Chain A
Amino acid sequence: MTDTIIRAESAASTPEPVAPKLSKKTKHKGLGIDRRPGFLTYGILIALFAGGTYPLWWSVVVGASPSSVLSQEWPPLLPGGQFWDNVAVVFDTIPFWQALLNSVLVSTIITVSVVSFSTLAGYAFAKLKFRGSNGLMVFVVATMAIPTQLGIIPLFILMRQFGWTGSIGAIIIPTLVTAFGVFFMRQYLVDVIPDELIEAARVDGANMITTFWNVAVPAARPAMAILSLFTFMMAWTDFLWPMIVSPQNPTLQVALSQLQSARYIDYSVVLAGAVLATLPLLILFVFAGKQLISGIMAGAVKG
């Protein structure tokens, strides 16, 4: 912010370009701030990569071995050939496919709901003038810091009263909207849609909802994609509430946790299950990783 202001100022105060611009080359060589980093940097990065992936590799190794591998003299380094045997035990122990389906349904519905309502409200806060908008926006920002998760006891009481425990609906309901979503969409839309565009649409006779649909939604699409990604991740990883309200009809995370509920834990089976449950997200990450990164980085600057 201050940066752009200062730049604008200096541009305005120096009408003719007095400064002989340092050429790109001298800049790089002379100051060394854009120098390519050396081996040390890449060494650290490789170490980080190893540290970040090793626990996953460990679960692949153990998940594909008989459990006796853990009592060997040397810890195993490479996966054995038992993955599918262990997976078969996973399928016998927990309703894996049902849980996967539940997770997909829950996460998809929550994502659609959060993104639609956030875009609508975010657009209203960013671009429409109405009485009380400032106060209501402050309220939205304030609620972002409120741990709504702590309302689980009354939520559980209500769900039980309605007879909804054990259903997907009960898992979905508490996260149909998030304050973060509204804030995120507002921050994005405030800069990205010029007011003139909305006025032009209005002058052309478009009513409000048409303007929203034809001007705001196309402009909001990148932010909607990022918000979808984050909301999906949030819904997919959630554990506390699904475990409380629907252990008998579990999501994938709840089912996974049930793998180690026995007195004796067979880590080969548990880790085979962990690998299996992590695969969908890893695949998603390969395709959507770039968007996830730009989303995290955009959120930081905006937030």
Chain B
Amino acid sequence: MTRTLEPDTSAPAPVKRPGRASALTYKHRLSRMDVKLSPYLYISPFFVLFGLVGLFPLVYTFVVSLNNWNLLSGPGEWVGFDNYSAELADPLFWNSLFNTMSIFLLSSIPQLVVATAIAAILDQNLRAKTFWRMSVLIPYVVTPVAVALIFSSMFSEQSGLVNHLLSFVGVDPIGWKTDVLPSHLAIAGMVNWRWTGYNALILLAAMQSVPRDIHESAALDGAGFVRRFFSITLPSIRPTMIFVIITATIGGLQIFTEPRLYDATSSTAGGAHRQFQTTVLYLWEMAFQRQNFGKASAVAFILFIIIVAFGLLNFLISQRIATTDSRSESKRAKRQLSRTLRNGAKEPRA
């Protein structure tokens, strides 16, 4: 870019020896342009592309949602917020929101607890560390589509493995696909199966960054494994837990693949009675099967606001925790440290 500048742009420079000095100023100017413009040049591909394919569609979603807009016939008349009031009064929309929340809670809470437990187990002085770490990550390399197909077969009501095994212990077949709670459990199971190990590794990393001397001094004071886990490990990994919760929320509220492919025999997406139709699935059905782009966009925008609100809430909570944490924690760490020094040595000079 800057190379195309004409040399004469650097002409007005007071010089003694015209030839060399003006060449210097030209070079100098060129390099200053280089320094000034390059950063913008480097970030512009991201911002231009992100604006075009990320942000613009979101804004345009809002525009579409204010119109009667059919998949085939295109934009119709302007209807203001009618699509929103129609959706907010539609029990099917609320049903999808309920299903999404239910599946989200069933997947995120047990997942967080189990992932923390797995991380604590992996955070020991294990033999063959890498092998165990890899082994908890295996489900992550199975794509959601494949996971949905596999679980769909395992939870099949007639010939599925789960009901088959349950029959051996005398449990009657469970309606894994027809009933509300069982289907939510099965879908949450897919999410949990694929993501728990992944999140365990994130939490493991946080656990390993806890300073060892804090553990040591606590152990010196007679704190056992469990006590140290609850008093040291858990408080120190809280920021990472919030990170995990935020990503799980953003992903969990947009769940689509698993419920879409869970029961392919049903003619309605998300079960014959929409018993596991999530909001993105409802949105997809509204747009591409019922062909109502206007209403589907309204649903997308409402969901967008819900997710952003969740994100903000998480952010605010984590900010508060982080500020109080860093204060109390550095104090606590200092106390711990000075105690270690005192125990081990004569007198720490502070």
Contacts and interface: CB of A to CB of B under 8 A. Distances in A.
A289 B146 CA distance: 19
B22 interface: no
Interface in B151-194: 151-154, 156, 159-161, 164-165, 193
Contact of A154 (B60, B197, B311): B60
A14 B46 contact: no
A270 B149 contact: yes
A274 B144 contact: no
B265 interface: yes
B66 interface: no
Contact of A14 (B152, B212, B348): B348
A181 to B, nearest CB: 8
B39 A34 contact: no
Contact of B53 (A2, A33, A155, A299): A155
Contacts of B20: none
A192 B239 CA distance: 23
A271 B127 CA distance: 34
A149 B255 CA distance: 11
Interface of A: 2-3, 5-6, 10, 13-14, 18-22, 27, 30-37, 41, 44-45, 48-49, 51-53, 55-56, 58-59, 62, 70-71, 75, 117-118, 120-121, 123-125, 128-130, 133, 136, 140, 143, 145-158, 173-177, 179, 182, 207-209, 212, 233, 236-237, 239-240, 244, 253, 256-257, 259-265, 267, 270-271, 273-274, 277-278, 281-282, 284-285, 289-290, 292-293, 296-301, 303
Interface of B: 31, 34-36, 38-40, 42-43, 45-47, 49-50, 53-58, 60-61, 63-64, 118, 121, 124-127, 130, 132-139, 141-154, 156, 159-161, 164-165, 193, 197-198, 201-206, 208-209, 211-212, 215-216, 219-220, 228, 240, 243, 246, 250, 253-254, 256-257, 260-261, 264-265, 280, 283-284, 287-288, 293, 296-297, 300-301, 303-304, 307-308, 311, 315, 326, 329-330, 333-334, 337, 341, 344-350
14 contacts: A13-B348, A33-B212, A37-B125, A48-B197, A52-B193, A120-B46, A121-B43, A143-B54, A147-B303, A148-B55, A177-B54, A182-B46, A260-B152, A296-B205
